[in-house]
Chain A
Amino acid sequence: MSKLLGHREAALAALVVALFAAIGWRAPVFWSAANLDTLLNDSAILTIMALAQMCALLTRGVDLSVGASMALAGMLTALLSRAQPELPVVWSILLALGSGLVLGTLNGVCIAWLSLPPIVVTLGTMSIYRGLVFVVSGGAWVNAHELGPRFVAFPLERFLGLTHLGWIALGVAALGYLFLHHRSAGRELYALGGNPAAARHVGINGPRRELLVYVLSGACSGLCGYLWVARYAVAYTETALGFEMQTIAACVIGGVSIRGGRGNVSGCLLGAAFLVLLFNALPIIDVSPFWQPAISGAAILAAVVLNSRSEPERRRARSWKPAGNALGART
């Protein structure tokens, strides 16, 4: 498996480099340090959220509410900043994390404790959270001039040469790597997604792991909600609309299996990088940004096709060992 994934990731990395080189060929400014910095900032939020989404996908779940959670948490922080423009940024971040945590916990409780299907739960909460953005804001925008100056400046302020946004993304990626590849709870997510029944037989507490996944996803959504609103200096009801699809796209392109149990951090990061590069390339090669959703959709489909071709053992398992429902005899 590691060989296969390694091979896959090398191919994806080569594709990212080739794409980068090709765009630079067309527009040399693309290769400048300043543009690299912009690319990192552009991909930061997608990277964080793709990692959170990957955790859900690993357990055979999905979190469709991430975009709406970001919008709601972002709106709450914007409203707080409008009311208290001089408040230190740390309060905005705490509010963002806290509200995201609550939203994620709600998802997690429904999925883990009530055993409802993740796709249904998060589809529901996606509408609820998006609806709440209207409720708390009254449908109105919070514009740049109403937000505190520190609030708006924080994401793009620099520390040791990199923006805060960049540092946070790198930090989350490092934590994600440690969690998934070097902690038993992370490894158990793979087992849980790979074979839920067998996971129960080895004493893995499935509901507890699922709760953790959706709580983490919620917290990341909250944090990213603040970063998004601050970076673009506006909070409105359609913040991050459809962003959940981009996170899923990044995962799938990065080799994360929709069927659970398969995927890793480096693939996920490459998937996010690929998407961001693609989006940034469109204006340079004179393609209207209106094409963006269609192109990301096409990229997902292409990735799914490639994934299904490069999962021979998985396919064999499907055709020869039909996932057992009640066929096992009781003794």
Chain B
Amino acid sequence: MSVESSAPVSSPPVLSLVGVDKRFGGVQALAGVSLDLVAGQVHALLGENGAGKSTAVKLLTGVYAPDAGCVRVRGTALQFQSTQAAWQHGIAAVYQDPALFDQLSVAENLFAGHLATRRGGWLDWKAMRQRARASLQSLQADFDVQAPLGGLSLAQKHLVAIARALTHDARVLILDEPTAALSRREIDHLYGIVRRLAQAGTAILFISHKLDEVFAIAHRYTVLRDGRQVAEGAIGEVKEADLVRAMVGRSLTQIFPKAAAEIGDPVLQARELGNGTAFEGVSFTLHRGEVLGFYGLVGAGRTELVEALFGLAPPTHGVATLEGQPIGRSPRASIEHGLVLVPEDRQKNGVFGALSIRENLVLPSLRRLARGPLLDRHAEGTLAQQLVDRLAIKHTDLEQPVNELSGGNQQKVVIGKWLATDPKVILLDEPTQGVDVGAKAAVHAFIAALVARGVAVILVSSELPEVMGVADRIVVMHEGRVVRIVPRAEFAASALVAAALGSVSARESTDVEAARAS
């Protein structure tokens, strides 16, 4: 059952899944999956959304119990009764959205659930602060442990989450897409920490959609597809294309297809837009049938810019016009003018999780579908079915709550609802963040289909290969300002990264480029 025979491991595994099965109702989430985590090694777990990665993590951390097979800690089969039990065995997980408490201090967050006490049950604040400082220092993170967590950046919160795991003496650290929302430099810092933890003897399970990351830090890999283990081995002995093929079950020759659409008249124009804080003096012109990429570091003001264009937080100065009409007043007005936004934070701003697929898809079109004063349920069903078919949304029933879909399919629902409104301009803010390779390809195909119909697209993305693959021109932003607008013929990765880094010297930027390539 175990994969030990095929894995050239030097020491026995700290934590293993041995031939585990897990079913949820009619869905086989995992079937006969085995996985060994070895001290000092970074093990990458790969697979599309819905492949069973999260289920595997939940089995390892005691959230679920396996239907068959077992979880072994240092060779002994164990049944965790709770996540707390898993923690006590030194198994800690850090999720993409670290589950922390914004209102509590950094130190309180580190010790939440196991506060240090003195005799008599009194809290030992002094010891907690000292230990908090020590564990943050070990991560080269120097921030005030008494400051409220809410004031930290997402990257800093990730560090707190990792430090929290370390205060538990974690011998196994599970990182679930830890880099999804981090900037390049924050990611490099995180890599350094992961490498150092591995050298210190921690076993690490690293889950990511970004293959370059996997090649940068992992020693071994396991690929899941539809709940089955389809590939495994040492990273040094595999090529990127092989991993992609294993993940999707077919080779994706064109991950970033460029749509050959005709670029037409200007449709959206921004002149000296600014909101006083996040972006300033932003001017650009968007043409019919064009994909305009917005590239920059996290914090460059791109999300704020598209939110301002959409009218969520109107710009304080400058003008934006759509076919001559001023825009950026309210989302409702924007939608009526044919400008729609697919927001970055899908869970928070995109999906209505408790509402059905149908209700989500028809929401912006309710009035158009209505028969006189009353809604037309039949027309809603027809429209929803069309959209579901067109975007190949995997579902069992149109009346299924959207919560039950995988991340990639939820994103398709978020995007799909705008198709029926016949938009002229669509703003996509990190549309492929945290979705799997297949769903990513679907989003890119969808962009191609849009521009072919003459829709103009603004694509905000922090993934350079994506922007370079899909965009006709790239607007590079740095600290709220447009530094360059580059036409497709002049796309060059190093120059784009250098521009995004702004004032940073060229030497440093080529280093970053090298890091990305490795």
In contact, A184 and B366 (Cβ under 8 angstroms): yes
Q: Which of A197, A261, A323, A331 contacts B429 (CB 8 A)?
A: A331
Q: Which residues of B contact A322 (CB under 8 A)?
A: 97, 99
Chain B contact patch, size range: 35 or more
- If A201-B343, A329-B154, A329-B344 touch, whether A324 touches B298 (CB-CB below 8 Å) is no
Judge whether B351 and A195 touch: CB under 8 Å.
Answer: yes
Q: Which residues of A contact B331 (CB under 8 A)?
A: 200-203
Given contact pairs A194-B355, A202-B331, A331-B344, A184 touches B375 in the complex (Cβ within 8 A) = yes
B399 within 8 A of A: yes
Do A331 and B303 form a contact, CB below 8 Å, given A183-B373, A184-B370? yes
- A193, closest chain B residue (CB): B354
- Interface code B349-366, partner A: CB below 8 Å = 1, 0 otherwise? 111111110010001101
Of A14-22, A63-71, A143-151, A310-318, the one with at least 4 CB within 8 A of chain B: A310-318
CB distance from B231 to the nearest CB of A (A): 27
Q: Are A327 and B341 in contact (CB under 8 A)?
A: no
Q: Is A309 an interface residue (CB 8 A)?
A: no
With A183-B375, A195-B351, A203-B334: A331-B298 Cβ-Cβ less than 8 Å = yes
Query: Within 8 Å of chain A (Cβ to Cβ): is B404?
Result: yes
What sequence of 0s and 1s flags, for each residue 279-315 of chain B, a beta carbon within 8 Å of any chain A beta carbon?
0000000000000000010111111100000101000
Across-interface contacts of A323 in B (CB, < 8 A):
348
CA separation between A30 and B210, bound complex, in Å? 69
A129 at the interface (CB under 8 A from B): no
Q: Given contacts A317-B354, A326-B150, is CB(A191)–CB(B363) below 8 Å?
A: yes
In the bound complex, CA of A262 to CA of B102 (Å): 28
Asked if A1 is at the interface of the complex by the 8 Å CB criterion, the answer is: yes
Contacting B at CB under 8 A, from A283-331, are 313-314, 316-317, 321-331
B31 at the interface (CB under 8 A from A): no
Bound Cα distance from A181 to B376, whole angstroms: 10
Q: Does A328 lie within 8 Å of B355, measured CB to CB?
A: no
Q: How far is the CA of A195 from the CA of B349 in the complex (A)?
A: 8
Interface residue A198 (Cβ < 8 Å from any Cβ of B): yes
A328 and B348 form a contact (CB under 8 A)? yes
Give Cα A207–Cα B347 distance, bound, in whole angstroms: 22
Q: Within the complex, which residue of B98, B299, B312, B460 is in contact with A200, where a contact is CB–CB below 8 Å?
A: B312
Q: Is A10's beta carbon under 8 Å from chain B?
A: no
Contact B98–A202 (Cβ < 8 Å)? no
Q: Give every chain A residue within 8 A of B182 (Cβ-Cβ).
A: 329
User: Residue among B296, B300, B310, B359 with the most chain A CB within 10 A?
Assistant: B359
> A237: shortest Cβ distance to chain B, in Å?
41
Chain A neighbourhood of B298, CB < 8 A: 329-331
Min C-beta distance of A57 to chain B, whole Å: 14
Q: Are A3 and B399 in contact (CB under 8 A)?
A: yes
**B330 CB within 8 Å of chain A:** yes
Q: Which residues of A contact B462 (CB under 8 A)?
A: 331
Q: Quick check: A324 and B347 within 8 Å, CB to CB?
A: yes
Does B154 contact A317, Cβ atoms closer than 8 Å?
Answer: no
A-facing mask of B25-58, CB < 8 A → 1, else 0? 0000000000000000000000000000000000
Interface centre among A3, A183, A197, A201 (most CB of B within 10 A): A201
Whether A32 is near chain B, meaning CB under 8 Å from some CB there, is: no
Alpha-carbon gap, A49 to B124, bound state (A) = 52
B354 near A331: Cβ-Cβ < 8 Å: no
Interface mask (A194-238 → B, CB under 8 Å = 1, otherwise 0) = 110111111111000000000000000000000000000000000
Whether B367 sits at the interface, judged by CB under 8 Å, is yes
Any chain B CB within 8 A of the CB of A187? yes
> Which residues of A lie under 8 Å from residue B240 when comparing CB positions?
none
B438 at the interface (CB under 8 A from A): no
- Give chain A residues whose Cβ lies under 8 Å from the Cβ of B102: 325-326
Contact B374 A198, beta carbon cutoff 8 Å: no
A329 closest partner in B (C-beta): B181
Known: A194-B355, A331-B300, A331-B430. A201 touches B350 (CB 8 A): yes
Tell me the residues in window 170-191 of chain B with beta carbons closer than 8 Å to chain A beta carbons: 181-182
How distant is the Cα of A191 from the Cα of B344 in the complex, in angstroms?
19
Q: Which residues of A contact B89 (CB under 8 A)?
A: none
Q: Is the CB of A330 within 8 A of B303?
A: yes
The one of A187, A317, A321, A330 that contacts B304, using a Cβ cutoff of 8 Å: A330
Give every chain A residue within 8 A of B350 (Cβ-Cβ).
198, 201
A150 to chain B, nearest CB (A): 35
Of all chain A residues, the one with the shortest Cβ separation from B304 is: A330
Residue of A nearest to B334 (CB): A203
Task: Give A261 to B400 CA distance when docked, in angstroms.
Answer: 15
**Cβ proximity bits A165-191 to B, threshold 8 Å, 1 near / 0 not:** 000000000000010011110011011
A190 to B430, CA, bound (A): 27
Query: Can you name the residue of chain B whose Cβ is closest to the Cβ of A194?
Result: B352
Are A187 and B366 closer than 8 Å at their CB atoms?
yes
Q: Which residue of chain B has its CB nearest to the CB of A322?
A: B99
Q: Is the CB of B370 within 8 A of A203?
A: no
Partner of A203, one of B335, B345, B399: B335
* Chain A residues whose C-beta falls within 8 Å of the C-beta of B181 in the assembled complex: 328-329
Q: Are B375 and A203 in contact (CB under 8 A)?
A: no
Residues of chain B at the chain A interface (Cβ within 8 Å): 97-99, 102, 150, 154, 157, 181-182, 278, 296, 298-304, 310, 312, 330-332, 334-336, 341, 343-345, 347-356, 359, 363-364, 366-367, 370, 373-375, 399-401, 403-404, 417, 429-430, 460, 462
- Which 5 A-B residue pairs are closest in the complex by CB-CB distance? A328-B345, A203-B332, A329-B181, A184-B366, A331-B303
